[in-house]
Amino acid sequence: MQQSSSDPLPVSGRFSAFSFRDFRLFWFGQVISLSGSWMQTVAQGWLVYSLTKSPLHLGMVAAANALPILLFSLFGGLIADRYPKRTLLLFTQALSIIPALLLGFLAARGTVTVWHVAALAAFLGTINALDIPVRQSFLAEMVGKGHIANAIALNSAAFNGARIIGPVIAGVAIAYLGIPACFYLNALSFVAVIIALYRIRTRGAIRGKSEGMLRDFHKGIVFIRSNREIKHVFLLIAVFSVIGLPYISLLPIFAAEVLHAGPKGLGFLVGASGIGALTAALLIAARRDIKDKTRFMSFAALTFAAALFLFSLSGIFWLSLLVIMAAGWGMVSYLAVANSFIQITVADELRGRVMSLYSLVFLGTVPIGNAIMGVAADYLGTPHAVSVSGLICLLAACLFAKRYLKQRITI
């Protein structure tokens, strides 16, 4: 990756990734586009709840969105290592406009069914299976390995800043403009990131030499298996993704039936989680480095699991906002540091494949969890199902922390 001559010299202090012109363009485009995506997530959840009043259907639609990542993200990693990443991202962003427009059209006509929503969610998930590993590995090419941890933290800040902006706007838009407005605004938001990508000079020149698909896959797996700490990090991500993260798909139930807060309350719940997540991302980005990443990840994992359990027990709206904020902080703190830990360690020619495995474990296993949580919530009740998931996550976090959390955390 070559630094543009028009850029200031890269700095080593806080937010150093912003010294790269291409990253700045990418970041601001992301904030707008991701805000629209979060609007669609909230609107889609409320639409499914309005159509079915069923936690099972909420879980199944969320599973439909994530299942393609389980099936195709490894292939996305191979593509990311072989072709210019900017071109691939332009392609995925343009395609992502289609499901947003179709959902808006069907919802506006009043002909939308839960199966329409599931099919379009699966289509978007297929696009994301390519987009996510490309996007993750593209960061290193814009800023270089020396600034990758800062770029990951700032990218996480963009994602979670949008997680605040998008849901709050969605909650108000649903209440006053209707659900279709959220889908149309999301379609429009993709234009911002397409313009940003078009102006970026970095093309994504790091390419791996192919030795055949199976051998290429095997190299990525061998890298993870040969590093004990990275293997433990991946295992805990898998537990959180299967057992912990599916609570997000059940938030419409909490908003409507447990907290009696309606669509505005749903927007504030998702937004509160985003505030905690954004705080985590900004604190990590403001640091030059976190000296002991494994101990910090242990603390963050324990925070997420404990907060998730407390959220399941709370029937008070303001208390639920506080604990879900803590859950957002813990989850993003763990994931951001885990992501940078992996990318700093991996060789450039393996980055796309390893990040596709990261996407597979982090997002691809979510459909399994969403299906399990949807069935559990249907039979046990939503709060009880989330209580059980919180306890399982807490046990996994304790086992991880037992190995690494032996001294006082130094942040």
Per-residue pLDDT tens over the stretch 89-116: 999 999 999 999 999 999 998 888 889 9
pLDDT above 50 for 248: yes
Highest mean pLDDT among 168-182, 289-303, 364-378: 168-182
Highest mean pLDDT among 141-155, 184-198, 277-291: 184-198
Binned at pLDDT 50, 70 and 90, residue 350 comes out as low
Mean pLDDT over each residue of the chain, to the nearest integer: 81
Q: pTM for the whole thing?
A: 0.71
Residue 203: predicted pLDDT: 59
In contact, 33 and 190? CB cutoff 8 Å? yes
Could you tell me the pLDDT band of residue 3, with boundaries at 50, 70 and 90?
Answer: very low
The Cα–Cα gap between 295 and 220 comes to 25
- Please determine, for residue 158, whether its predicted confidence score (pLDDT) is greater than 70: yes
Enter the tokens of residue 398.
Answer: 């304790």
Q: What is the pLDDT of residue 336?
A: 82
Cβ burial, residue 381 (10 Å; 0-12/13-18/19+) = middle
Going along the chain from its start, the domains and CATH numbers come out as 16-404 (1.20.1250.20)
**Whether 280 contacts 155, CB under 8 Å:** no
Q: Which of 135, 113, 102, 104 is nearest to 50 (CA)?
A: 113
pLDDT digits (tens, 9 = 90+) for 285-335: 777 666 677 788 888 999 999 999 999 888 888 898 999 999 999 988 888
Contacts of 11 (CB under 8 A, 6+ apart): 19
Contact (Cβ atoms closer than 8 angstroms) between residue 80 and residue 134: yes
Q: Are 280 and 332 in contact (CB under 8 A)?
A: yes
Identify the pLDDT of residue 325: 92
pLDDT of residue 378: 80
CA distances from 269 to 161, 319, 341, 366 (A): 14, 11, 30, 20
Q: Name which of 10-24, 150-164, 386-400 the model is least confident about.
A: 10-24
- Lowest mean pLDDT, pick from 67-76, 171-180, 308-317: 67-76
pLDDT higher for 59 or 162?
162
Check residue 329 and give its pLDDT: 92
What pLDDT does residue 304 have?
94
Nearest 10 degrees: Cα torsion 314, 387, 174, 261:
-20
pLDDT at 289: 61
CB 86 within 8 A of CB 203: yes
* Residue 120: predicted pLDDT: 92
SS3 content of the chain, % helix, strand, coil (to 5): 85, 0, 15
With cut-offs at 50, 70 and 90, classify the pLDDT of residue 1: very low
Question: Does position 226 have pLDDT exceeding 80, yes or no?
Answer: no
Please tell me the distance from the alpha carbon of residue 373 to that of residue 253, in angstroms, as a whole number. 12
If we measure between CA atoms, which residue out of 79, 118, 80 comes closest to residue 99? 118
Q: What DSSP letter does each residue of 303-316 carry, written as one string?
A: HHHHHHHHHHH---
What value does the mean pLDDT take over residues 112-123? 90
Whole-number Å distance between alpha carbons of 67 and 128: 11
The confidence score (pLDDT) of residue 106 equals: 92
Of 41-45, 79-83, 250-254, 286-290, the one with minimum mean pLDDT is 286-290
